[in-house]
Structures are given as C-alpha cells and as structure tokens.
Amino acid sequence: MSQTSEKERCINNYNYLFRKDLLQNKVAFITGGGTGIGFTIAEVLMRHGCDVVIASRRLEKVKESAATLSAETGRRCLPLQMDVRDPKKIQAAVSEAMKQFEKINILVNNAAGNFLSPAEGLSFNAFRTVMDIDALGTYNVTKVIFDEYMKKHGGVIVNITATLQVRGQVFQLHAGAAKAAIEAMTRHLAVEWGEKGIRIMCVAPGPIEQTEGFSRLGGKAMTREYVENIPIQRVGTREDIANTVLYVVSDAAKLLTGTTIIADGGSWLTSENNLQRIKKIMTNQSKL
Ligand code: NAP
Ligand code: COA
C-alpha cells in the first residue's frame, strides 16, 4: 500500500456540460474515492448536487480528500475506512453511510490494485491479491449495498474496469483477469436485477494522466510516438472519466445496462502489445 501522499486537487475551471442539479438529492458511494480517478468522480458527482461517501483503507487520506471535496463543491462528503476484501468492514461502512444519508442511489466500484509483472513473475499471492481487491472487492461491496438498499429501492452501479483484458495486455494477466471477471459479473447482474430498477454498467478507462495507475503502468515512459498512436492524439484525463460516469448514472442513460463504455480515445485499438517491444520500452524506462 505504498502510494504517494500528495494532496488531491480539484479541477480548475470545471466546464459544466450538464445541468448543475442533475443529481440533486442523490447519494453516491465511491470505493477508492480518496485518490485519482475515484476522487475526480466524487468531485464531478458532487458538482451536480450529489452527496458522496468515499471509502478506502487509508482513513487519513479519505478524510483529507473529503475536506477538499466539500470545501470546493459545498456538498457533503463522508470519509470511511474500509477494505473491499473484508465484508464485515464493508457492512460497517455501509451501515454508517445509511445512518448519515438514509440512502445510496449510486455505487461506483473504483478501488483496485495493479502493477506491471510478467505472468511468470507472479506469486500465488500476487495474482490472488489483485483478484481479491478488484473482482471480489467489487462483488463484496455490490452485495452489501444491494442487500442494504438497492434491492428495495433500485439504483445505478458503475464498475470501473479497463481495456487490458480485451487483447490480453502484456504483463497484465492478474488485472486483466480481474477486470474481465467484473465485466462478466456486470452482465449477470444486469439480467437478474433489471426488474428491481437497478442498472449496472462498466466504464473502462484507457491510460489516464495524473493517476497512480498511469505512473505504475508505464506512463513515465510515455513518448510522443505513444501519444500519436492514440486515435484522438492525447491520453485521457480524470475529468473525461468522471464526465463519462456522470452521464452513465444520469437519467440520460436510462437504457444502458449490462454493457461497457470504453473511454480511451480509441487507444485500445492501436496501443502497443508486442512482448519484445514492451520489454525494450521497460528497459529504456529503467535507465531514465
Ligand atoms: P488509485 O488512485 O491508486 O486508486 C485506487 C484506489 O483504490 C485508492 O484510493 C486506494 O485507496 C483504493 N484501494 C485500493 N485497494 C483497496 C482495498 N483493498 N480496499 C479499499 N480501497 C482500496 O488509482 P487510479 O489510477 O485512479 O485507478 C482508479 C481505477 O481506474 C481503478 O479501478 C483502475 O483499475 C482503473 N483504471 C485506471 C487507469 C489509469 O490510467 N489510471 C486505466 C484503466 C483503469 P487506499 O490505498 O486508501 O485503500
Ligand atoms: N510485482 C509482482 N508482485 C508484486 C508486486 C509487483 N510489482 N507488488 C506486489 N506484489 C506481490 C507481493 O510480493 C505479494 O506477494 P507475496 O506475498 O507472494 O510476496 C502480493 O503481491 C501482495 O502484496 P502486498 O503488498 O502484501 O498487498 P497489499 O494488499 O498490501 O497491496 C497491492 C495491494 C500490491 C495491489 C498494492 O500495490 C496496492 O495497495 N495498490 C493500490 C493502488 C494501486 O494499485 N493503484 C493503481 C490502480 S490501477
């Protein structure tokens, strides 16, 4: 769990594309909402009238981020300590959230763990750890919030996946397997829970600048050639992903369930996935 302790910052001059009251009176529960993409999803939902719970392992981090988010948006943000691998901790956190807000209309399963590793370099525990956080963690939180609230009242669930699993990305066996499991789970639950007024979707980011995931997965070695290889000629931003989630949870997306929105500027279609070339890029990176 060794991530940087830099304070999260809100978006400069956020450009409102939707009505500011789009999510008025809604409550969202966002795992891993204290940092990175999850933080910006929390910010953008709050900017549209939503109150938010952000939950992850580091209480100090979610507390600090909740204060930043509330100060910027004027909405309530409840920080809670929770490990998505621990059903008892999740139950306690969800029960605290229900006590404070009396509802959870939106769940964003964003918490994840990842690192670059060749398949042959993964220990049993390394593979299991990523499956546990990403796939089981998504199931665990979804189950608790379904039981506690959505079963009776409906809601929208957004699972943050990735594009690694689509083409079998080099050195990403563990995360690709986990994200593929989440996408399958999403389809199963869409089929069973549609009649309860629950929509469940995946949003799959490509490379997103200024994130932990980006720096772990080779972002530091980004070259001009890499960027030119992306159809829209740039990497994604946290705001891009937050706006995609905003659309998915809004009533504008009422017909969407059981599918994945890939939000990556077309990157998965053209990105590098050659073992020898990626090994070379990584060797050059380690010399930087
Ligand atoms: P990040 O800032 O490291 O976000 C991960 C969050 O998950 C952290 O806030 C972390 O907080 C929390 N977390 C990790 N393990 C947890 C656990 N066991 N229980 C509860 N919370 C846990 O990374 P990010 O890059 O923004 O990634 C966010 C999401 O986007 C992930 O699902 C990732 O797979 C996806 N994604 C990112 C990119 C990218 O380019 N960044 C690309 C594709 C997909 P604590 O340490 O406090 O627990
Ligand atoms: N390469 C190969 N194996 C690795 C690794 C790497 N870079 N990093 C960790 N592992 C292995 C560990 O060696 C351990 O296996 P072992 O017991 O056989 O030695 C296993 O993974 C679990 O590591 P541990 O540090 O105990 O797990 P944790 O639960 O404390 O942390 C991680 C989970 C490893 C995913 C950690 O990086 C994390 O907390 N990540 C969250 C942030 C993040 O990844 N953000 C990006 C999201 S895209």
How many whole angstroms from 14 Cα to the centroid of ligand 1?
23
How many whole angstroms from 129 Cα to the centroid of ligand 2?
7
Going from the C-alpha of 225 to that of each of 181, 214, 230, 234, 270, the distances in angstroms are: 32, 17, 9, 11, 12
State the average pLDDT over residues 194-203: 98
Q: Domain ranges for the chain, please list them.
A: 27-286
At 226 the pLDDT is 87
> Which atom of ligand 1 is the closest one to the Cα of 1?
46
Q: Which of 64, 110, 131 to mutate to test the pocket of ligand 1 (most atoms within 8 A of CB)?
A: 110
Q: How far apart are the first and last CA of the chain?
A: 24
> Which atom of ligand 1 is the closest one to the Cα of 219?
40
At 252 the pLDDT is 98
Mean pLDDT of the chain: 96
Q: Report whether 164 contacts 176 (CB < 8 A).
A: yes
Please indicate whether residue 218 or residue 275 has the higher confidence score (pLDDT).
275
Beta carbons within 8 Å of 203's beta carbon, 6+ residues apart: 158, 159, 160, 161, 241, 244, 245, 248, 260, 261, 263
Mean pLDDT is lowest, of 32-41, 86-95, 163-172, 211-220, for 211-220
pLDDT digits (tens, 9 = 90+) for 235-288: 999 999 999 999 999 999 999 999 999 999 999 999 999 999 999 888 876 654
User: What is the Cα–Cα distance from 181 to 179, expressed in whole angstroms?
Assistant: 5
pTM score, whole prediction: 0.98
> Which atom of ligand 1 is the closest one to the Cα of 31?
21
Strands (E), 6-97: 27-31, 51-56, 77-81
At 4 the pLDDT is 62
Ligand nearest to the CA of 58: 1
State the average pLDDT over residues 44-53: 98
At 288 the pLDDT is 46
With a cut of 80, say whether residue 113 has pLDDT above it. yes
Beta carbons within 8 Å of 42's beta carbon, 6+ residues apart: 28, 30, 33, 52, 54, 65, 69, 77
Count Cβ atoms below 10 Å from residue 97 Cβ, excluding itself: 24
How many whole angstroms from 193 Cα to the centroid of ligand 1?
26
How many whole angstroms from 195 Cα to the centroid of ligand 1?
31
Count Cβ atoms below 10 Å from residue 120 Cβ, excluding itself: 6
Strands (E), the chain: 27-31, 51-56, 77-81, 106-109, 155-160, 198-205, 260-263
Closest-CA residue to 214 (of 111, 114, 130, 119): 114
Using DSSP's 3-state secondary structure scheme, residue 201 falls into strand
Count Cβ atoms below 10 Å from residue 280 Cβ, excluding itself: 11
At 1 the pLDDT is 64
Q: Report whether 68 contacts 8 (CB < 8 A).
A: yes
How many whole angstroms from 114 Cα to the centroid of ligand 2?
7
With a cut of 70, say whether residue 127 has pLDDT above it. yes
> Which atom of ligand 1 is the closest one to the Cα of 132?
18
Q: Report whether 140 contacts 85 (CB < 8 A).
A: yes
pLDDT digits (tens, 9 = 90+) for 61-72: 999 999 999 999
At 117 the pLDDT is 97
CA atoms within 13 A on the CB side of 184: 10
Closest-CA residue to 51 (of 31, 25, 32, 81): 25
User: What is the Cα–Cα distance from 152 to 146, expressed in whole angstroms?
Assistant: 8
pLDDT band at 223 (very low <50, low <70, confident <90, very high): confident
**CATH second-level architecture of 27-286?**
3-Layer(aba) Sandwich (3.40)
At 281 the pLDDT is 82
Tokens found for residue 3: 């991530």
State the average pLDDT over residues 50-68: 98
**Percentage of the chain lying above the pLDDT 70 cut:** 97
At 125 the pLDDT is 98
- Among protein residues, the one with the nearest Cα to ligand 2's atom 25 is 1
With a cut of 70, say whether residue 3 has pLDDT above it. no
Using DSSP's 3-state secondary structure scheme, residue 12 falls into coil
Q: Is 130 in the pocket of ligand 1 (CB under 6 A)?
A: no
pLDDT band at 178 (very low <50, low <70, confident <90, very high): very high
Measured in whole angstroms, how far is the alpha carbon of residue 107 from the centre of its chain? 11
